[in-house]
Every structure is written in C-alpha cells, then in structure tokens.
Structure 1
Amino acid sequence: MTGDALPPPLDLSGLAPAMPVLSETLMVVAIALPLALAFGALVPAVRRVLPHLLVFVPLPALIAALAVPRGLSVLVAPDPFRFTLALDAPGALLLGGAALLWMTASAYAMAYLRKDPARPAFIVWWLLTMAGSFAVFLVADVASFYLAYALVSFSAYGLAAHDDTVEARRAGALYLALTVLGEALLIAAFVMLASGPADANPQIRDAVALLPASPWKTPILLLILLGFTLKMGLFPLHVWMPLAHSVAPVPGSAALSGIVVKAGVIGLLRFLPEGVPLPGWGALLCGAGLFTAYYGVAVGLTQRHPKRALAYSTVSQMGVVAAVIGAGIMNGTAGTFTIAAFYAANHMLLKGAMFLMVGVAMAASPRRALAAAAVAALLGLSLAGLPLSGGAMAKYAIKLIVPDGGAGVLLTLSAAGSTLLMARYALLVARSGTENQKTEGKEMQGRPPRGLVLPALALAVLALFAPFALFAEVTGVPVSAAFTAAALVKGFWPVGLGLGVAALLAWKGPRVPEVPAGDILHAAGFLSATGRTIMEGTVAADAVLRRWPVAALALLGVAVSLAATLTFAAMP
C-alpha cells in the first residue's frame, strides 16, 4: 500500500479536549508521580500506604494518552539540562496501553505478593520501571530518551530477579549484562546522531531528519537496530527474555513481556526515519523479524511451563512487529509507525492478560484451572488473529503495510504458528492447577483469590475489545471492512490451520524434548560453569544493589552525572 493511501496520524484529543497547561501537566505528572513515590518510599508512612495507592499511579498517563493533543511539546527544563516531552500517535497508543496494563497488574501484584516479605522492595522497582516506561513514550530529546531508556531497563532487573533464587539471580545476571551491552550500543549511536545538529542535545525528530544525509549513517543505523532489537528480543539477542520471564513473579513477567520490551519498539519508531525509503536496512530488519517470528514458535512449542511458552511467544510477536517496521521503511510507507504501535499495544494488553491468567490457574484447583485455561485460550486465539476478536483488527491493520508478496505470505502463515503455540500455552495453563489450596489456614476449595481473578479478567476484557475502538482512527478504514466475507476467510484460514495441526499433534505427535530457556546459550555451552561464573561476576554486588534505597541513590547519581555532562558539553 502506498504512503498516500494511509490516513493522517492518529488523534484522539477530541475525546477529552484539554487546555495546553493541563496537557503539559499531565505529561509531567505521568512520569513524576511514580518516580516521586519510589523515592518517597524512604519514608515509612509513605511505604505503608503505597500498596493501596499503586493501582491509581498510572491514571495520569492514561488520561494523557487520551487527552493530550498530538504534537504538543513541553520544555520541562531549559538548556543546558533540556528535558522535553511530546506525544505523537505511536507514543499515545503505547502510553495508553502501558497505563492500562500497569493499573490492572498493580492490583494483581498486591494480591499476588500479599505475604511476600520483599514486597516493599518489589513496589519500588515496580514504580521505577513504570516511570521509565512512561518516560520512553513521552520524551522528545536525545539525552532524555537515553536516561528514560536506562531507567526502565535497569529497574526491570529488580522485577526479574525478585525471587532471589539461584535461577532468578542467574537470569538477572544475563539480563543485566545484555542491558549494559545494549546501553553501550545506543549511547554510541546517540553520540554520532547528535553530532549532526548544532545543538548538543537535539530533539529526536531533528536529529533523525538529518540521518539520511549523515556521513555516519551506516554505523548509526547498525547500532540503533542492534540496541533496540536486543530489548525487543529479536534472534539472536532474545536469550534474556525466556530466562527472565520464567523466574520473575507473574506480575513482573506481565510487565516485562507486555511493557518493557516495548521500550525497544518505541526506540525503533523514534530513531528510524519514517517516509524515507531505506531498502537495504528495511529488508534486513524485515528478514530478521520474520525469522524470529518462526523461531519463537518453534522453540516455544517444546516448553513445558506456560510462562516460558509465553516468553517465546513474545519473541515471535516482536519479530512480527520488527517485520512490519522493516517492510515500512524498506518502501518508505507513511503511517507505518502508527500501525506498528497499534499492533504492539494490542500485544501489550493480550500478553499481560495471558501472564496474569497463568497466576490465576496456579492458584486454583485443577478443575477451576480449566476455566482460567478457557479464558487463556480465547486470549491466545485473539493474539493469533481469530476473526471477530480484537487481535483480528490488529492483524488486519498490519496487512495495510505488508499486503502481499513473500513477506505478506510469511506474516500470514506466522499466524498459524502463533495459533499452534497458543494451543500449547492453553494446555499448559489447564495443567497448572494445584490441590489443597489454603489461605490463612482455611480451605479455599481451590478457589483463586478475587484479588487475582478480577484484575486478570478486567485486563482480558480490555485486550479483547480495545482494538475495535481504535481501529478506524489508526487505519482510516471503517471497522466493518474487517467483517466482510473475504476478510473473515483470510483471517480464519491460518487460525484454522494452526488449530488443525495442534489437534493432529495432540492425537499423534512426536515427543520432543524441551529446549532449555536461553536455547542458543545452552547450545553454545555459554551456560557452562565458566559462563555462569562470568555472568554471576557481573552481579557480584547484587545483595547490595537490590536494596531499593541504594538503587534509588544510584539512579539519582546517573541523573546528576548526565546533567553534569550536558553542562560541560554546553560550555564554550
């Protein structure tokens, strides 16, 4: 589809018109509130009330996503400490989706971790990750984006390693090591990117506008793709994801898979030029995405725990997002980034709900776990693109960017693979129930706590229906277009194919050994005794750094150091 055929950027500001000052305040508060509460937890009185406030903290971000006019920019801090916020269509979609997931997952987390003595520390890491995730969708200058990206990346370590088991610390070590690598790649790219504009800390849009003519174009693009696809989990940089997801608490896994990986998505959408054909780079990203989409399914099908199956599903789905972005920049198709963000936001809500349903099933009896598995199956089918579901609307949208040809056929077939993997996930959820559930010494007859069930169901409903409300605004195509006979057939056959193969494998399929989480690291022997020693050495100070007051002071030190660097850079 040509760029001229796509609609103008999404603008939902008419839903709740806001005065400029109110809009600017909303953007600032969206980031400042969780950050302030994280530091406020130093005060015992604040720490005691935080579990009751957590569900309301993302509310300013949700209102901002709906009400702030697209394109509005606010200078929070002047030079030399420039800190600029702005909200465009892709950022609004991801910000709104993240706010909804943070709200429901926060309610879930407080019930899930009710008896966990380390819950106060988890809350602080949760708030810091939340602040960073909102910031990456809102910041508009290069230095501030790097600071926000570092905040969400490093804070998420506390979610992954929360359980403090040997496996959790090992997964956290790998995540931290790869995060440091990704940060190094990106800071090198940002330094070269900022060398073009006269401003020491340029607006992202200004720096990216000069990128096609930059003498550093090739290394910048290479570093940007490596740095952000590492966070997204594209092959072969995906290895942290299944390891971290399998050991994190359920709400932590929902945040990691639903939100944290989207920092890589918004990075690509911010730092790649839209509407400018980059045939070679687009083909490279599209090819890597397609390979990752199929690889994630293949390895995910061998998993025997639903959280690991979901982790590999996220690897696969981020491959789909990368393929769409790659196809768009390959042809310079306008509107690509908004549609890619729409698909990513749909994945954000669905995958968050699917992780929460795992926790519900694990807290239920085997019989009640079947009900959780039924909801999980519906969510999984929506992710695969089952017609009449919200996921089908997202699948229809990306076909506007990749309608036909080899890439289009492969993307369509990947839906069959997703269906197959989601069938495996639903089966694993059904097997997750446990006997003799007890709460405070009283028999619960295997009934999961309402504090888990209600947030999970609320997020599931949002995930299934929110895409219908956004589809026409995102694509410029009426919702009815996805309900024509041709569209329904095109949407159903890959799902039907996947269900058919799933039934065949269940009846007479080969028994395949489980691929260990981290797959290629095990194949390469990287998780041998020597490899583990190296990784554990990267977190030798884990016992100290994971104490939230120390981490908070460290993050403050990062902010002060960055401010000092900008000051000296601005001096004559």
Structure 2
Amino acid sequence: MLLLLVVALPAALAVVLLGAARSQGRGGPHTGPARPGGPVPGPEQPGAHVPGLITTAPGGGGAQTVGRLIAPLAPAAPLPAMALAVTGAGFAPGAGSMTRPLLLVAALICTATLVTTTRLRTTRGDRLSALVLLCFATHGLLLLATDLAQLLVACVGTTLAVTALIRTGPSAASARAARVYLVVTGAGDLAVAGALVLILRSGGWRLSEVPQVVAGSPQLVPIVCLLLLGFGVRACVFPVHGWLPLVESRSSVPVGAVLSGMVVSTGLIGWIRLLPLGETALPGWGSALVAFALTGSFLVVLPALLDPDPEISLGYSTVSQLGFVTVLIGAALAVPELAEACVLSAVVYAVHHAMAKGGLILAVSIWERHGASRLRWWVLGGSAMLALAVVGAPLGSGAVAKYAAKRTLSEAPFVVDVVAALPFISTGSTLLLIWAGLTLRRHLRPGTVGADLELLAWSGFCLGGTVLAWVLVARWVPVLSVPSLDLVTLWQATWPVLLGLGLAGLGMLSVRTGLAGRLPRGRRLPRGDLMALLERALHRR
C-alpha cells in the first residue's frame, strides 16, 4: 500500500499531466515567477523535456480536457503520503525513524511547490507540476525501496525527472544547466550501480541486510569508495558541489525549492541505506569525509559573496549547510558506537533544512505576489523566521538540529575539534543569506495580490520551519534531546549569528565609507566552481 500511495499515485498523475501538456503543443507565454538571475520568461521552446522520458501521450482535445480537470488536483497527490508519514500506517514497527520524517517533509515541499505551479495555468505550469510529482514519486521510491533493483530505479528516475524539471526553463542557460546536472549525477549513478553490483556479488539483495553484507565483504573498500562518490554528488560534497548553485541560478522558484528542499537529501538517504554504519569502524574513510565536508562548508562562502546573483548565494548556502549532514555521516563511519545517534541527528538536520530552506526559496515567489500588499509585513516576518531557522538562531528548528549534531559529535575522536568548527558554518550561512537578501531586494518587484492558497501553504512552511524539528526530536527521535533554554545554551546558538551580522555590518560600512572602493566589482570566480568548466565543455559540443 505504501508504494501504491507514495509512488504509483503521483507517478500516474504526472504521466496524465505530461501527456496533456504534450498534446497541447507550444504553450503561451510563461506567466510564472522567474528567479532573479535565472531564465527570463518567454515563449515555450520545443523539447523542454527529456526525450524518451514519456514516449506516448493521449492525443487531441480529450487529453487537454483531462489535463484541465486533473491539474488543479495535483497539490493533493502528496497528501496520502503525508498522512501515512504522520500516522505511521503501513510502516513496520521501528522502521520509520528515518523514513517517516523525510517522507513527510518531501510531501510538504511537493504540495507547496505544486500550489505555485498549478497557479500558472499554462502548458509549462502543467509540465512543471507533472515533473515535480515525478520527483516526489522517485524520492518516495528511494525511501521505501526494499531491494537493490528498486533503489537503482529510484536513483536513475530521480536523475531523469530532475533533469527534465531543470530543462523546463525556456533559455539556453537552462538547457546547459540540465546537461551539467545529467552528466554529473549520471556519473554518480554509474558509481552507485558499480557499488550495487559488488554488493550483489557479495550476497546482498535486501536493503535491510546490505550494511551487514558490505561490512563483511572482501570488496569493502571499493564499495564504500563508490558509494561515497556516487551519493556525494547528490549531497553536494566538495569538490563536486558546484552543480547546485549553477543549476539554481538557471532555474525557476519551484525548481529551486525542489532541489534545495528535497533532491539534495537523496545523497543522505543512499548513504544511510547502504553504508556499513554501525557495523564496522572505518576511521580513515570517515575522517576523509569529514575533512571534505568542512572544507566545502567554509570555502563556498568566498565565491558566493563575490557573485552578484542572489540565487548563487542561496545555492552555496545550501552546500554549506549540507556540510553538517556529511560530517555526521563521516562520524558514523568512523565510530560505529555513534552511528545510531549520528544517523538520527542527520535526519533531523535534513528535515529542518528542507523545511526552512525550501520555504525561504518559495518566499521569493511569495514576495513577488504579495510584497506590496497589506500582507507585506507577514511576508517579511515569515521570511525572517525562516532565515533565522536556517542559520540556527535560538528557538528555531536550526537550533534544535545543530544542538543534536554537536551533542553527538562531541564524543567523536577526530584529530580536529569538529564541534568547535561547526558554529562558524552558521556564521558563513548568515553572511550568505544577508548578501542574498540585499541582492534580491534590488532584483525583485513586489506584487499587490491579497491572501491566497499559495500564501497559506507558504505560511505552513514558516511554522514548520520553526517548530518541526522540536516535535520531531521530542516525539519521533527520543534518542536525541532538545536544547534547554538556559543562558549558556542560548548564547551558544546566538553568537555565531551575531558574528555573521557583525561581519556583514562591517562589510556594508566599508563599502559606504569607500574603504572597499578599490575592490573589483562583479563576479570574480566561475559560476559553479569546477562545474563551470563542465558547462563550457558541454556548450562547445
């Protein structure tokens, strides 16, 4: 029943919508919100989907009629999955500690995004809705897969669905970004497929048995290496992280919300389901993963601050925040005794980030519709709450997630004091979000639309992005603990944010007083770091 409601229902609805959109041919002008720095709305171009993804479609006016009837129902497709995640119906006892929270947050993101895409009422809007549903279906399959074949199908399906989603942009830049994503994640899928072959040869098939099989396999080293590389691409681990800011800067608001809120967590899911966490100690691999994660979390601040595109800053902010999750997986690899706590902390952090960052990206569309209306202060207040949650300010979901992560990592015997370094990730994220906010203000023109369903769905994100992690830790993950409200704990969550605010203030003061006048303006580093080289190579072909 789980696969039927979580995977088959959204996938079937997506096929119907894609068939209807395809039968309509070229649509009218795209009326949906475009991200600043991303593709400019314009007439739809042919081929705005991955060839071969859908090979047949209903024809004629009947398909268009079906599409018009079905499209408004798209936001309801994830609701059964949401209900199953909340109630636990259909899950084996003790089997939902990882699956249920991630399924719930994916359903919430998908629903809110579909409210935005359904409002467009265009052929491209229907195609966006269909591809968001396909992304949700493949994501759900990855969470609920029971064997190696289902997991591989989920990985490849996610790659194709996200590529098609990126390709819906009408500009040539969107097409290049889609090719970059397809090449990078396709290479990651090949690495995962190689690891699955080695696991199969070692006697593994059921995913519940894979960690034990991998731990005892004579091919342990190549399997772990391939899994870290293959899913590391999806988790935006340095140095293969550049695809996310590159793609986000070329995409619309719904695509960015799906990428930062749902797609990037597939790397974490793959690691948890396949790596021998808690089965054997791999201190070398764990320490290496922690080193790459911390390096990426700090290095991405520089190219983000040198780029005038706010979407680049938001993308790099996601990369920096994902370093927390990767550090936890590295600790679980290195110290089996900490594996359970590390995995649960990583899930809590992923849920927090998906809600807060997904809502923050959707806030761009909300501001464009409601920023000049009577609801202006509601939008500003909600956006501020989400931003504070992302950086880990006190009382928000970020404070809970980071508290759980630091408590868990305090027992990890790394050469470097990892816990002491983690707060500075919050400082870097504060700088990036301030920079993104300043640049967005120059690019966006607020709208005067009153309250609507889109604003209501986004308001749910503001609430969830603030309190969901508290509920998750208190009710679903009792192994972890929520932070107390004493002055020491509050100060530990506050000073990294204050440091970021202070550095941002100094930067703005230096610009106003002319102290930074000699600094060159504009973008100094290639957009997407190393991925920029791949984009240029693909563009020349």
TM-score (norm 1): 0.79
Which residue in 2 is equivalent to 1:137? 143
Q: Evaluate the alpha carbon distance shift between residue 408 and residue 31 of structure 1 in structure 2; reply closer, same or farther with a 3 A threshold.
A: same
% identity of equivalent residues: 29
In the other structure, the counterpart of 1:238 is: 241
> Map of 1:26-105 to 2, 5 A cutoff?
26-41=2-17, 42=19, 43=58, 44=63, 45-68=65-88, 72=92, 87-105=95-113
1:156 to 162, 179, 183: 162
Identify unmatched segments of 5+ residues in structure 2: 20-57
Q: In the alignment, what sits opposite 2:474? A: 472
Paired position in structure 2 for 1:312: 316
Q: 1:247–1:267: structure 2 CA closer, same or farther, 3 Å change rule?
A: same
The equivalences for 1:187-198 within 5 A come to: 187-197=193-203
The AA in structure 2 aligned to 1:235 is F
1:371 CA displacement = 6.2
How far apart, in 2, do the equivalents of 1:163 and 1:174 lie?
14
The one of 271, 276, 285 equivalent to 1:273 is 276
Please, which of 513, 523, 528 is the counterpart of residue 522 of structure 2?
A: 513
CA-CA distance at 1:472 after TM superposition = 2.2
- The match for 1:295 among 299, 315, 320 is 299
Answer yes or no: is the 8 Å Cα contact 1:415–1:495 preserved in 2.
yes
Q: Report the residue type matching 1:157 in the other structure.
A: T
Q: Cα distance 1:70–1:504, how it changes in 2: closer, same or farther (>3 A)?
A: farther
1:227 aligned to 225, 230, 233, which one? 230
Cα separation, 2, equivalents of 1:376 and 1:271: 37
Cα distance in 1 for partners of 2:467, 2:355 equals 10
Call closer, same or farther: CA 1:478–1:339 in 2, change over 3 Å. Answer: closer
Deviation, 1:520, is 2.6
Superposed CA offset, 1:495-514 (max 9, x none): 11111111111111545532
Closer/same/farther in 2, CA of residues 191 and 491 from structure 1, 3 Å limit = same
What amino acid is aligned across from residue 323 of structure 1 in structure 2?
A: V
**How far, CA to CA, are the matches of 2:5 and 2:240 in structure 1?**
34
1:471-523 Cα deviation digits (max 9, x unpaired): 224254554x431222111111111111111111111154553234212344x
Inter-CA distance 429–364: structure 2 relative to 1 (3 Å threshold): farther
Q: TM-score, normalised by structure 2?
A: 0.83
Q: Quote the offset at 1:101 in angstroms.
A: 1.1
Q: What is the match of residue 262 of structure 2?
A: 259
Q: Distance in 2 between matches of 1:315 and 1:63?
A: 30
Structure 1 pair 370–520 and aligned structure 2 pair: CA distance change class (3 A): farther
Note if 1:501 corresponds to 2:503. yes
CA distance in 2, matches of 1:294, 1:475: 32
2:333 to 306, 329, 335: 329
Cα pair 1:377 1:423 within 8 Å, conserved: no
Cα distance change, pair 448–354 in 1 and its aligned pair in 2 (3 A): farther
Matched to 1:353, the amino acid is: G
Which residue of 2 is the match for residue 422 of structure 1? 433
1:439-471 deviation digits (Å, cap 9, x = unpaired): xxxxxxx44773543322221221112112112
Residues 373 and 426, structure 1, Cα contact 8 Å, conserved in 2 = no
Letter in 1 for 2:108: L
Query: Matched residue of 1:400: which SS?
Result: helix
Task: Tell me: CA distance 1:451–1:70, structure 2 relative to 1, closer, same or farther (3 Å).
Answer: closer
In 2 relative to 1, CA 372–69 (structure 1 residues): closer, same or farther, beyond 3 Å?
closer
Is this contact kept in 2: 1:369–1:430, CA < 8 A?
A: no
What residue identity is the alignment partner of 2:84? A
Q: Alignment partner of 2:106: what SS?
A: helix
Deviates more, 1:500-509 or 1:257-266: 500-509
Counterpart CA distance in 1 for 2:86 and 2:224 is 32
Q: Is the Cα–Cα contact under 8 Å of residues 31 and 132 in structure 1 kept in the other structure? A: yes
1:458 matched residue in structure 2:
460
Secondary structure in structure 1 of the residue aligned to 2:123:
coil
Q: Are the counterparts in 1 of residues 349 and 402 from structure 2 also a CA contact under 8 Å?
A: yes
Q: Is the 8 A contact 1:235 1:288 kept in 2?
A: yes
Distance 1:386 1:416 in 2: 11
User: Is the 2:166–2:178 contact (alpha carbons within 8 Å) kept by the matching residues of 1?
Assistant: yes
CA contact (8 A) 2:114 2:129 kept: no
The 1-side partners of 2:377 and 2:529 are apart by 30
2:396–2:465 Cα contact (<8 Å) kept: no
CA contact (8 A) 1:369 1:429 kept: no
State the distance in 2 between where 1:271 and 1:118 align.
37
CA distance in 2, matches of 1:373, 1:235: 33
Aligned residue for 1:204, secondary structure, equals: coil
Alpha-carbon distance in structure 2 between the residues aligned to 1:516 and 1:455: 36
Residue 207 (structure 2) aligns with? 204
Single out whichever of 417-426 and 89-98 deviates more from structure 2. Answer: 417-426
Instruction: Determine if contact 1:26/1:63 at 8 Å carries over to the other structure.
Output: no
In structure 1, C-alpha distance between the alignment counterparts of 2:312 and 2:223, rounded to whole Å: 33
Q: Which residue number corresponds to residue 413 of structure 1?
A: 424
Paired with 1:521 and 1:483, the residues of 2 have a C-alpha distance of 43
Residue identity in the other structure for 1:387: P
Structure 1 residue 207: Cα displacement = 2.2
Deviation at 1:98, TM superposition (A): 0.6
Give yes or no for contact 2:328–2:346 (8 Å, CA) kept in 1: yes
**1:390/1:465 contact within 8 Å kept:** yes
CA distance in structure 2 between the partners assigned to 1:140 and 1:424 by the alignment:
43
Asked if the contact 1:339/1:397 (under 8 Å) is kept, the reply is yes
1:310 and 1:425 in contact (8 A); partners too: yes
